[in-house]
Structure 1
Amino acid sequence: MTEAETTPVTVTRRPARQLLAASVGNAVEWYDWYAYTFLATYIAAQVFPAGTGNSLVPLLSTFAVFAVGFFMRPVGGLLMGAVADRHGRRAALTVTILLMGGSSLLVGLTPTYDAAGILAPVVLVTARLLQGLSVGGEFAASTTFLVESAGPGRRGLFSSFQYVSTTLGQLAASGVAAALVGGLGERQMEGWGWRVPFVLGAVLSLVGFWIRRGAQETLRRPAGGEAGTRRPGLFDALRHHPRASLLIGGITAGGTLAYYTWTSYLPTYAELNAGVGKADALLAGTLSLGFFALLQPVGGLLSDRYGRKPPLLFFGIGFALLGVPLLRSVDSFGSLLLAQCAGMVLLTGFTSVSAAVNAEIFPARVRAAGIGFPYSLTVALFGGTAPYVGTLFTQAGHPGLFPWYVSALCLVSATVYLRLPETAHRELER
């Protein structure tokens, strides 16, 4: 399709509304996703029967369902990315947020095992599959939408809000869960309290849906309609742009491992390997996440001025050199907070620009699906498994290997960044 054959779409007339539509919806998506993690112990006790003589069976089953959600993310990235490429970014964004709202409500209404027997875990598994589908599709659609909505020289800034909103969603889920646990008794939490965050998530999804409905479409349509123009197939991005698909994996591998290690697993790592108390570990994690959210627009603005490669190399080489010393330095609340904040500064080099880099690699016609599948697959393989790999090293008696694993994968990604073409100042293909 040539430039002459397209009808231009103005995407900067309401940039604040565009940014709000993507960010609010993304925050709600991640609120729903993380609420499950924070309330896993309560869900386990109500939905899964305890094994004879083994009280860990319910919790293990609940985390197995968590893993199932990660498995569905690449499928969601592919399917919802295809929807975004065929029917528009706004259409995909409204589908993903309604899907997340419905699946969140389903978790909140899941019957107990005592009331419904085997139907209870079946309902929960179904809800978690739908959540994974939604989250995988959300990144593909919202990344594309954010970058295409940005004005000249602002793609990095707009893309940084992907992780601003993700972090705010995580903090909101943590805050709501903590408030309920602190305000309700254990009996009330086990009876009905654990359901409240999911019902609230469903309501918030409707708010996000309303905001997104008023957003402006960023996908250009062929002049005179779509007649005679073949819509992109499900696997067109993989088939016609295999190198770009592999690049997405290489760009993401180290970043997603470092992200999940620093934002999700580090408090547990500090508890298991450094004797830091649970309350102190969670407080350090919360404070560092707030700091991390504030850093993202700064990183995005710097990348718009100086390019995408410098922050990516800052992240990759920084973690390769400092990942092991930072993790090994953790032995108290103060050292944990310092290590987390230092890691967040390095991590910003990846998170604040990755959405822009991903979008700038693919042509508009297959951009969303091209990003969605390889990105979500890499996250499932490396990011989603970070807590499990870390715990596995600890159980095997080799906790010191995990920091080396993080640093090694960041070094691999750094070699990819070295060979990347600079895309910050190129015109974005539409």
Structure 2
Amino acid sequence: MGIKEIRTALKVDLSKPAGEQPGLHNRWHPDIPACNKIANNEVVKIECLDWTGGQIQNNDSADDIKNVDLTQIHYLSGPFDIESAEPGDVLLVEIQDVQPSQDQPWGFTGVFHRQNGGGFLDELYPEAAKAIWDFEGIFCSSRHIPHVRFAGLIHPGILGCAPSAGVLAEWNRREGELIAANTSTDRVVAQPPEPKSSHAGGADGDIKSKVAKEGARTIPGRPEHGGNCDIKNLSRGSKIYLPVHVPGAKFSVGDLHFSQGDGEISFCGAIEMAGVITLKFNVIKAGMAKLGMKSPIFQPGPVEPQFGPGRYLTFEGFSVDEHGKQHYLDTTVAYRQTCLRVIEYLRRYGYSDYQIYLLLSCAPVQGHIAGIVDIPNACTTLGVPMDIFDFDIRPEAEIVKREMGSCAFAS
């Protein structure tokens, strides 16, 4: 160790369309060919585009957010064959480092338009909005949300191994049933396979067509393999244990985040970025049976922004919605109300609701389920670290309304 440079298993080109790069893919399917091989116990660097493949630009307009093509996302780096991995094994992945791309030292947070992606609070905030964040070492700040600066808990949003044909069929079956059972709602409850903009890495011919027809969308995480879980604490130094379903595991990674709050509430809510991740791989033979594993497990690393327990201002929410309707132990309703309490509180300092919505999505806020037994009201909490602001937000402090500018909106 330490006597030679770490090998880069995949390099990406920020100037080239993502769909033309064979080391990337945006569907889950067992037949997507591996782009490279990684040895058991090897440490490698893997470069990643941002999750949209470069659709979002560093400017002061949210037109790109409003018009983003969601059939393209997410662009993942991989898949990689891991030496000796076989179905039934567990792939232990250690995240040794994650860094922004040296050629693109900025990221973005977005509120998607309700008619194109939406988000957790899209009934109240239906318009597209954007904030650009500039990186300075471990810190970030935004011209679109002034008077805020914090260290990022940098992490990948997506880690996973390819599904087997049987697992893929099960995903499509159960999500198809969910779609069929909800035809009367105006909500998109799941996304079925979509041939448009499908990218199957280095596949061609019949395999490319098969992936386009059958490939599962990367939007949700799924119990059999993890995938898009957006866990902010799965950061540097963490270890994640992933089920293996196909020979070689066919591991993929992407959707790198400079920072994120619990819940990533605006959907495009992390600070999304292009970057490079350093990973170590270890195969645990027959690990799924040994661990009784039905979904991934992870062990957090030692790296985390340090805010003392007394340096969070924590808000409570309950499962009574903004219209006064009582819900039964609904933690989604409760967390939505918790977010609204923060927005109401912080707007007194001069921020717009959209600025606060963006901030809660990407700053290292702590979201928790406080109670799910006291019928009928579930209770959730959201802790906002007070030290990310350059002014005092404590309830007893004097309220000074400031000129806070604006986040970017669509034209």
TM-score range, shorter chain: under 0.3
TM-score of the aligned structures, taking structure 2 as reference length: 0.28
TM-score of the superposed pair, with normalisation by structure 1: 0.27
Q: Which has the higher helix share?
A: 1
